[in-house]
A = this chain, B = another copy of it.
C-alpha cells in the first residue's frame, strides 16, 4: 500500500485519517460542519482573493460569461454556501442505522449496521462550491475525501481546503480527512482512479466526457452520475394541455441540468398535437431537431432543423430538443431504452394500461407518468442533500442521499457458538 506516488500517499493518509472519523458521534460531526460553515465566512477575504486569481485567469482564457459567473465567489455567496453547510449539518445522520437484524435459532444476534465507506474520491469540474459540498457530504457521512477539482478553480479550491483543514484541526480531527490532489494534474487523477484498496468509491461529477473517462479508466468502484438524455413521450391518449405543460417544463424550466428533457417523442396518433407543441417550444427559443415525419407534421407551425442520427443520443443541455414520431408505445419504449441514458423518462397519457406498460418496460432510474422530468432530484425526493444522480444500476440508482456514500457491516454477537453439522459446498468454495 505504500508508494512513492504523492497521490497514493495522500489516499493512504486519507484511509488512515478516516478511522478517526469512524467512531465520532453524530453531534461531533455536526459540530464539525457548523465549524466549517463559520470558518468559510470568517475566511471570506482570503477565499475571495484566491478566487480572484482563478477569475482573472478564466477571463484571460476566454471563459464564457456563464461559466465565469459560476466560478466567481463573493462574501455573499460564501454566506450562502455556509448556510448550505448548516443545512447538511441539520440532516439526519445515516450512520449507525440498523438496516436489518435478527436472532438466529442458535441465539446468535445479527445486526446489519450502516457504517462509513472510508475514503470517497470526488472528481469534478469548475465550480468551487462543489469543493465545499463534496467535503461536507463526505464528512457528515463519516468519510474522508480526496478531491480533484477543475484546474480553472485551483486557487479557490486550495484556499477552501486550507480553511476546512483549520476547522478540522479545531475539532481535534486530522486535516487529512479533506485533501486535494489538484496540483498533480491529470496523471494524479488517473492514479486516484487506480488507488483500489485505499479509495472505496469514486464519484465523478461533471460532463459526459469526464464521467466516461472515469468509468473507463477506474479500477476503484465508480458511481456513474449525472448524464441525462431524458425523454418525454406523448401517447395517443395524452391530454393536449398537459402534454404541452409537461414538455415545456421538462425542456425549458432549466436547460443545463441532467433532468432536463432532450427528446420529445410523439405517438403517430397524436401527431396532430405536434404543431401546437412545436410552436410553444419555438416560442420559448427552443431549436427543434426534428425527424422527417415530425417536420412534416409540424409544417409551418414552427421552424425546425433536420435531426441527425447523433441528435437522438445527445444531451444538449441547451435550448435544443430532438423531436420524433413513433408508431406506438412499444416503439417509444424501444427508442428510449436504446438511446436514453437511463436517467429520467416520462409518458403523458390518459390510458392506465399504457402508463403501467411504460413504467414496467422503460429501464431508467426514474420513470414518470404525467409529470415533468425535472422532479428527479434528491432534495425534492426527500433524500436531503444530493450527492449526485446515479444512472447505473449498482449500489444506488437515481438521486443519491447521504446514505448512498455509506456501506453496511454485519455485527454478529454470540456466546461461544460454533458451527456444526453440514459441511457441504459453499458459494465461495474454490479448492
Chain A residues engaging chain B, CB cutoff 8 angstroms? 1, 19, 22-23, 66-67, 70, 102, 104, 108, 110, 112, 115, 117-118, 125, 127, 129, 133, 196, 200-201, 205-207, 215-216, 219, 221-223, 225-226, 228, 239, 242, 245-246, 248-250, 253-254, 256-259, 317-318, 337-338, 355, 359-361, 363-372, 374-378, 380-382, 386-389, 392-395, 397-399, 407-420, 423, 425-431
CB neighbours (8 Å) of A420 from chain B are 249, 253
Do residues A419 and B22 form an inter-chain contact, with CB atoms below 8 A?
A: no
Q: Besides A200-B393, A221-B394, 18 other CB < 8 A contacts?
A: A22-B363, A66-B431, A67-B431, A108-B371, A110-B381, A133-B427, A201-B394, A205-B427, A242-B416, A246-B416, A257-B429, A367-B411, A371-B412, A371-B414, A371-B415, A371-B417, A375-B412, A397-B410
Given A23-B360, A129-B425, A249-B418, is A206 in contact with B430 using a C-beta cutoff of 8 Å? yes
23 CB < 8 A contacts A-B: A102-B382, A118-B393, A205-B428, A206-B430, A221-B221, A221-B392, A239-B416, A253-B420, A256-B429, A318-B431, A364-B409, A366-B411, A366-B412, A367-B412, A370-B414, A372-B419, A374-B419, A375-B419, A376-B410, A377-B426, A389-B428, A397-B409, A398-B410
Closest to A64 in B: B431
Q: Which residues of B contact A381 (CB under 8 A)?
A: 104, 110, 410
For A102, A409, A418, A428, the residue with the greatest tally of chain B CB atoms inside 10 Å of its CB is: A428
* Assembly CA distance A242 to B415 (angstroms): 8
Give how many copies assemble into the complex: 2
Q: Which residues of B contact A248 (CB under 8 A)?
A: 418
Q: Which of A228, A375, A415 has the most CB of B within 10 A?
A: A375
Give chain B residues whose Cβ lies under 8 Å from the Cβ of A365: 409-410
Complex Cα–Cα for A102 and B399 (A): 15
Contacting residues, chain B, for A431 (C-beta < 8 A): 66-67, 207, 256, 317-318
Across the interface, do A426 and B258 meet the contact criterion of CB distance under 8 Å? yes
Q: Is A259 in contact with B205, judged by CB distance below 8 angstroms?
A: no
Contact of A249 among B242, B256, B419, B428 (CB under 8 A): B419
Q: Ordered nearest first, which 7 A-B pairs have the shortest CB separation?
A: A371-B414, A249-B418, A258-B428, A226-B428, A393-B407, A374-B419, A395-B395
Which of B242, B370, B378, B382 contacts A413 (CB under 8 A)? Answer: B370
Q: In the complex, are the beta carbons of A245 and B360 less than 8 A apart?
A: no
Please report the C-alpha to C-alpha distance between residue A200 and residue B394 in the assembled complex, in whole angstroms.
Answer: 8
Contacts of A104 in B (CB 8 A): 375, 380-382
Other-chain contact of A371, B67, B117, B338, B418 (Cβ < 8 Å): B418
| Contact in complex: B418, A372 (CB < 8 Å) | yes
User: In the complex, which of the residues A239, A408, A427 has the most CB atoms of chain B within 10 Å of its own CB atom?
Assistant: A427
Query: Knowing A425-B129, A428-B259 touch, does A245 contact B416 (C-beta < 8 A)?
Result: yes
Q: Is the CB of B419 within 8 A of A108?
A: no
* Contact yes or no, B412 A225, CB < 8 A: no
The answer on a CB contact under 8 Å between B370 and A427 is: no
Identity of the chain B residue whose Cβ is nearest the Cβ of A415 in the assembled complex:
B370
Complex formed: what's the CA distance from A405 to B424 in Å? 24
CA–CA, A420 to B360, complex, Å?
A: 28
- Chain B residues whose CB sits within 8 angstroms of the CB of A392 once the complex forms: 221
Contact B117 A393 (CB under 8 A): yes
Complex interface: chain B residues within 8 A of A407 (CB): 393-394, 397
How many Å lie between the Cα of A363 and that of B125 in the bound state? 32
Contacts of A370 in B (CB 8 A): 413-417
> Is the pair B219, A359 in contact by a Cβ cutoff of 8 Å?
no
Q: B428–A225 contact, CB under 8 A?
A: yes
CA distance A306 to B355 in the complex (A): 69
| Residue in contact with A219 in the complex, picked from B216, B375, B394, CB distance below 8 Å | B216
A248: min CB distance to chain B, Å: 8
Taking the closest CB of chain B, its distance from the CB of A115, in whole angstroms, is 8
Smallest Cβ-Cβ distance to A343: which chain B residue = B428
Most chain-B CB neighbours within 10 Å: which of A1, A248, A426?
A426
